[in-house]
Amino acid sequence: MPPDTVRIARGTIHPDPRDSQRWQYRSDWTASSAIDEEEEEEKQEERKKKKKKKKEDHLFEYAIIGKGMFGSAAAKYLADHSDSILLIGSDEPQDLRLHKGVFGSYYDSGRITRILDTEYVWALAAKRSIDRYRQIENDGGESFFHPVGCLRVMPDAINRRQYIAANEAIGDRLQATYERLSDDDLNRRWRYLRFPKNSLAIFETKNAGWIDPRKLVKAQQQIAAAKTDKGSHPCVQIIGETVVGKNILADGSIELKTDKANRFNAKRILVTAGGFANFNGLIERRLNLMPRAETTLRAEISQECAVNLKEMPCLIWFFDDHPNLHYVYIVPPVQYPDGRWYLKVGGDREAEHLFTCLAELETWFHSDGGAEAASDFRGILESLIPDMEALSWVSKPCVITDTATDRPYIGAIDENVFVAVGGCGAAAKSSDEFGRLAALCVRGEQDLSYGADAFHVLYEGEEDSGTRRQFHF
């Protein structure tokens, strides 16, 4: 480039006969600069489009729809065998009332965990998950397990004694640690709790208590995200979008469409969308799922009160004479993300309130739950802990996804489509194991220690021929 052109570009002007020519250089340079900027913007936009297209054109080996407790665990296990995994699902919304579409079942900070059960499959899945909690905490960098024990209290009756005996038999088989307690034992150990006379109790003392599902999900995703291929590229891509449709392509792969107008392709998909699995065109034939309402009530307490109740175990309390409830569960003081301490109580007050469409679920999650259920729960909590002074009461909507088998559905529903759904109100504690079983299923394998048909899938209109559990707890 001539020296004078460089000087003009820098704004240097010399009065000589060639000034008009110099101004022409300046004009040309200014126009050229503007064109260059426009071209650079166009190139950047084109690069963005190509990057988006490349992302959409990429064919994942596995896509997991739903990044809650089941899905996040499945992604972690699949990442041990594949470097091409998509984990996709909506993030937890800041305000449930403003959110539309899909909601997660892990939007909480306290869920009961324990091994004892009346059914071996549930107990085994719980034990295997609990045995891995500390490793998940270590690898995922999140502390979510609090082994305060799990106490079950019920009226002294023949059927309740049979219930306890069934728990003990399976507990012995799995080497769970527990003890039976009398009225006197209850009053001596937990003087601040008031139970009716003639109560039976069984207390699981080790590897039982409560977990924080938010932190569990975060730990599982962090473990999955940290797994890389030989080139140090992440094995799992995590996307915070909702899948709202799918197409089967000519080559047998599956195209997923999201609420953000993005498209992702995968060879196989695993649907872990809980009570929302039957919606948004995720599966061709509706599953026999029964999403039902549940209200939870939280009593806000002071930090001093929380310290005084620090030895309180998780509680499952059965009734024979309550007009509206068969049982309640109570989680001891937990510090929630807002920094406040809460006791949480829930139960089967709304077991008959079922949802049949997405709009009904949205309406429920936009509410405060059921006022009548909240009133019942408050009365029970105040009678159980009469010295407790609640600073406030907060009711929240929740959804339980029951199945026709009282076990999760884990299996293939099409050549390249698989499901792991239906926690039946008791699967948070066992979600790591159910995620592992789902990962095996997608890869064409099975853990036969549960039996060949333990988690078989039933479609709408089909019923289970087996014996269902008498008690969920």
Query: Average pLDDT over the chain, rounded to whole?
Result: 90
- CA separation for the pair 99, 433 (Å, rounded): 30
Q: Is the pLDDT higher at 156 or at 32?
A: 156
Checking if the pLDDT of 346 tops 80, the result is yes
Q: In this structure, are residues 436 and 73 in contact, taking their beta carbons and an 8 Å threshold?
A: yes
pTM of the complete model: 0.87
Percent of the chain with pLDDT over 70: 88
Helix (H, G, I), strand (E, B) or coil at 368: coil
Please report the pLDDT score of residue 6 as a whole number.
38
Q: What is the mean pLDDT of residues 445-462?
A: 96
∠ CA 54-60-63, rounded to 5°: 125
Looking at this protein, which amino acid is placed at residue 93? P
Distance of CA 241 to the CA centre of its chain: 15
Please report the pLDDT score of residue 105 as a whole number.
87
Please report the pLDDT score of residue 108 as a whole number.
96
Checking if the pLDDT of 397 tops 70, the result is yes
Q: Confidence band (pLDDT; 50, 70, 90) for 15?
A: very low
Q: Which tens digit of pLDDT belongs to each residue from 50-74? A: 555 555 568 999 999 999 999 999 9
Please report the pLDDT score of residue 3 as a whole number.
42
Cα-trace Rg, the chain: 29
Checking if the pLDDT of 414 tops 80, the result is yes
Please report the pLDDT score of residue 469 as a whole number.
53
Q: 150: exposed, middle or buried (C-beta count within 10 Å: 0-12, 13-18, 19+)? A: buried
- CA separation for the pair 244, 281 (Å, rounded): 7
Q: What is the mean pLDDT of residues 263-269?
A: 98
Checking if the pLDDT of 35 tops 90, the result is no
Q: Which tens digit of pLDDT belongs to each residue from 157-186? A: 999 999 999 999 999 999 999 999 999 999
Q: In this structure, are residues 114 and 331 in contact, taking their beta carbons and an 8 Å threshold?
A: no
CA distances from 167 to 72, 117, 163 (A): 30, 5, 6
